Amino acid sequence: MKRLHHPDRSDIHLSSVLYALSDPVRLYIVAEIRRNGEQTCGDIPVPVVKSTFSHHARTLREAGVIQVRAQGTQRYLSLRSEDLEARFPGLLDSILEAYESSGEQKALFAE
């Protein structure tokens, strides 16, 4: 099985994290994981096809925002909250609080 690359804590860069969180679908994915804890890719309801979801998950993983754990054919996604908090204190909380209070997630499904 192909081994997935996750950057070390020290290799997580602010510009990569901000880029990964700049897309509405990726921001929604992160908010859902934060709200519900670790989930499989199929558990997160997004208005995109599987290949597009995979692309978004890869972008988040390579930026150091999420951890992807393979178990059989399932991929479990979880936030790297501790790593992000250690590198950029308060960043993820601030972004997700602003996102959730903005109502943008409703617009994502209205399209």
Report the C-alpha dihedral over residues 46, 52, 53, 55, rounded to 10 degrees.
-150
- Measured in degrees and rounded to the nearest 5, phi and psi for residue 92 equal -65, -45
- Structure-block tokens of residue 55: 């692309």
Instruction: Give the CATH architecture of domain 9-100.
Output: Orthogonal Bundle (1.10)
Q: What pLDDT sits at residue 105? A: 75
Average pLDDT of 79-104? 94
Rounded to the nearest 10 degrees, the angle between the axes of helix 50-63 and helix 24-36 is 80
Q: State what percent of residues in the chain have pLDDT above 90.
A: 80
Q: What is the pLDDT of residues 36-88, one digit of tens each?
A: 999 999 999 998 999 999 999 999 999 999 999 999 889 999 999 999 999 99
Mean pLDDT across the chain: 92
* pLDDT for position 67: 97
